[in-house]
Amino acid sequence: MSEQIYKQQGELAKLIERHSEQDGNYATAIPSLFITRISNITEPKYGTYNTSLCIVAQGGKEALLAQDRYRYSPADYLVASVDLPVIAQVIEACPSVPYLALKVEMSQNDILEVLRETQIEARIKENAKRGMYVTKMNQALLDAVTRLVRLLDNPEDLPVLAPLIKKEIIYRVLQGEHGERLKQIAIEGSSTQQINTVIKHIMQNYEKSFKIEELAKIANMSVSSLYRYFTEVTTMSPIQFQKRLRLQEARSLLLAESLDAADVAFRVGYESPSQFSREYSRMFGLPPKEDIKQLAEEL
């Protein structure tokens, strides 16, 4: 990491720390910008990464997408080009040097708008690629991100400058080493865009049963192509993807509401409470009741 990048990372860390006095995840006055401060290494947490750019200003983090492991620190940035269920863990943090990070969310329309306004080539690529990657930080992107966070100190500038800087950030990501992966979700007819449509359908209807033929029709693909491209983008089959979403939602419901496991099983789409309990135990390591008890004690 160059001295200039190192210096700018320090400024970015101070900005994030100033706007997050305590540990937690914070929405900001910029709708697509979120900041995080965590003072200790965390246990692995299940969640979903939506289409976004993730930058660590201080500390380190690891995200698991099935068997794929993504580690990132101030020297890198992570991009999720589609919505993906992951297991994330802060792996470098302490009270004196907390983990400080930010996320910039991006929509398909945001990306398409940048493509339309620039000279970036936008051709369909036949083969979909993994929907998450980590690559080296560069000065141009870091500078744009730092200027976006600086705007939090000047609220009167937000309406005009925040959208412009966000466009610049997307432009820099698209120009990056793996920017093609992000670009493809905005290109009508690309296999990545078609798989992204299926991902959003499953996420909005995770509790409902479906046939693979129905998803293939939504994607305008053959069943074999859907299965191949979906697995390439997400590392999972559509059924495995749905199961992960169901179990993550079930865990959230059990932790947040006074419901028994059978009620939650039916609510997230399972027809058999015993099957739900088996799959829950396989994913989280404990049966529902024991897992929630342990989680509650940790909070």
Q: What is the CATH number of the domain that holds 258?
A: 1.10.10.60
Q: Is residue 54 part of a domain?
A: yes
Q: Is residue 78 part of a domain?
A: yes
Last residue of a domain, one of 114, 149, 184: 184
What would the 3-class secondary structure string for 141-194 be? HHHHHHHHHHHHHCHHHHHHHHHHHHHHHHHHHHHCCCHHHHHHCCCCCCHHHH
The structure tokens listed for 143 are 């500078």
Q: Is residue 102 part of a domain?
A: yes
The structure tokens listed for 283 are 């994913």
**15 and 121: one domain?**
yes
**80 and 166: one domain?**
yes
Q: What angle do CA 61, 64, 69 make, to 5 degrees?
A: 80
**36 and 164: one domain?**
yes
Domain count for the chain, please give it: 2
How far apart, in whole angstroms, are the C-alpha atoms of residue 87 and residue 92?
16
**148 and 294: one domain?**
no
Summarize the confidence of residues 273-293 as an average pLDDT. 94
Long-range contacts of 252-256 (CB under 8 A, 24+ apart): 254/288, 254/291, 254/292, 255/292, 255/295, 255/296
**160 and 246: one domain?**
no
**23 and 170: one domain?**
yes
125, pLDDT greater than 80: no
Q: What is the CATH number of the domain that holds 158?
A: 2.60.120.10
Q: Is 200 exposed, middle or buried (0-12, 13-18, 19+ CB in 10 A)?
A: middle
132-145 residue pLDDT tens: 999 999 999 999 99
126, pLDDT greater than 70: no
Strand partners, 90: 61
The structure tokens listed for 248 are 């993550």
22-46 residue pLDDT tens: 999 999 999 999 999 999 999 999 9
The structure tokens listed for 229 are 């491209």
Query: What share of the chain has pLDDT > 90, as a percent?
Result: 84
193, pLDDT greater than 90: yes
Q: Is residue 159 part of a domain?
A: yes
Report yes or no: 135 and 77 within 8 Å, Cβ to Cβ: yes
**87 and 174: one domain?**
yes
Compute the residue count for the chain.
299
Q: Is residue 133 part of a domain?
A: yes
**148 and 250: one domain?**
no
166, pLDDT greater than 70: yes
Q: Is residue 231 part of a domain?
A: no
**90 and 7: one domain?**
yes
Q: Is residue 166 part of a domain?
A: yes
Q: Can you spell out the DSSP letters for 103-143?
A: EEE--HHHHHHHHHHS-------SS---SEEEEE--HHHHH
Last residue of a domain, one of 184, 199, 232: 184
**76 and 152: one domain?**
yes
Tally Cβ neighbours within 10 Å of residue 88: 19
For 31, the domain range is 3-184
77, pLDDT greater than 90: yes
Residue 79 phi, psi dihedral angles, 5° rounding: -125, 130
Last residue of a domain, one of 184, 206, 231: 184
What distances in angstroms separate CA 291 from CA 55, 64, 257, 296, one per listed residue?
31, 20, 14, 9
Report yes or no: 218 and 201 within 8 Å, Cβ to Cβ: yes
**163 and 246: one domain?**
no
Q: Is residue 196 part of a domain?
A: no
What would the 3-class secondary structure string for 196-255 be? HHHHHHHHHCCCCCCCHHHHHHHHCCCHHHHHHHHHHHHCCCHHHHHHHHHHHHHHHHHH
**140 and 270: one domain?**
no
